Structure 1
């Protein structure tokens, strides 16, 4: 896993995160991880493949059986950022 250092974080922000972490019963570090995960993986996010499949279904291009086939073949793991090294 990666490590991230955040420099010049305002004291008020750090204090607010510490308080929020205490309310959730976890460490400040765990709270920051949760905040970052929620920010980058919102629950209502529509993935491109799912969107295209739903458009095709609505347009009459896919039957329920075809849609189920695509859904079962879809890779469900989160996408990873491209490495340009």
Structure 2
């Protein structure tokens, strides 16, 4: 486990983080870690990309024609 020390000069920001931590039943340190986790998500591994693409494809209703990337690029260039 790594450690980090942060000095927050903005008292209002520290108050907002403290209030948020209290609402979430966490310590300020846990709240800051949760905020950082949300702000800096992990990048997907290369081997996970096909499954992610399949989930995205599954969101499109059956029978809906997908516009090819080539068509979209041409349309964008013609603007």
Compute the TM-score of the two structures, normalised by the length of structure 1: 0.48
Deviations 1:18-61 (A, max 9, x none): 0001111111111111111111227xx65544335748xx8xxx
Correspondence for 1:51: 49
Does residue 1:14 correspond to 2:14, yes or no? yes
In structure 2, the gaps of 5 or more residues are 58-79
Structure-2 change in CA distance of 1:37 and 1:6 (3 Å): same
| Number of residue equivalences | 54
The 5 A counterparts of 1:1-85 are 1-41=1-41, 47-51=45-49, 54=53
Which segments of structure 1 move beyond 2 Å, counting only runs of 4 or more? 45-55
User: Rg: which structure is higher?
Assistant: 2
RMSD: 2.8
Structure 1 stretches lacking a partner, 5+ long: 59-85
Deviations for 1:50-84, whole angstroms, at most 9, x for unmatched residues?
335748xx8xxxxxxxxxxxxxxxxxxxxxxxxxx
